[in-house]
Amino acid sequence: MVVTIIGIIAAIAAPRVSSATSQSGAGALKATLTNIRSSIDIYYAEHGRFPGYDPSSGSPDNTQFVNQLTLYSDAAGRTNTNLSAAYAFGPYLRAPFPKNPANKLGTVHVKPLLSSPDPADGSVGWVAVLSTGDFGVSASDVQLETVGIVNPSERLEVRSK
């Protein structure tokens, strides 16, 4: 009798625990996106351009995107680990760069235009569009479902600004 009652309680509680875990993953992903997008906006306000360009060549650079948000920078976007008169901007995010909760990757793929090709879903953590400041998650539908994002409109929300 006791075993049966424990079994019934476990059957009722297990889906609720699973649902709460999924909802917390989706919440963590959305909160991370909000923080990164806000940091990009602040960087733009202070530098007049979005992060992710190599200051010496002007070309898109994945590492520069991360460095420009997590280190101190000068007006041109060059970065340094120490605050000084020359490197007076930032950091906009604490290092290390946040990981995507859906695939556990903290890597960023930068692309110059929204129409530029995307990396394979889930091969990097994030995708940044340098011409518009858009920032979203790079994850397959299966990876998004593991954190509780199953609705197509929610997927669009986390994939673009």
Tens digit of pLDDT for each residue in 112-137? 998 888 887 778 999 999 999 999 88
Does the pTM exceed 0.85?
no
Residue 57 DSSP symbol: T
pLDDT at 54 over 50: yes
Query: Which CA distances in Å does 71 have to 46, 88, 147?
Result: 14, 10, 29
In DSSP terms, which residues pair with 109 in a beta bridge? 127
What is the rounded distance in angstroms from the CA atom of residue 151 to the CA atom of residue 149? Answer: 6
Tell me, what's the pLDDT at 57?
Answer: 93
Tell me, what's the pLDDT at 20?
Answer: 47
Encode pLDDT of 10-33 as tens digits: 677 666 544 444 456 788 888 898
Helix axes 2-47, 152-159, angle to 10 degrees: 40
For residues 20 and 147, is the Cβ–Cβ distance under 8 A?
no
Full DSSP string of 16-53: HHHHHHHHHHHHHHHHHHHHHHHHHHHHHHHHSS-S-B
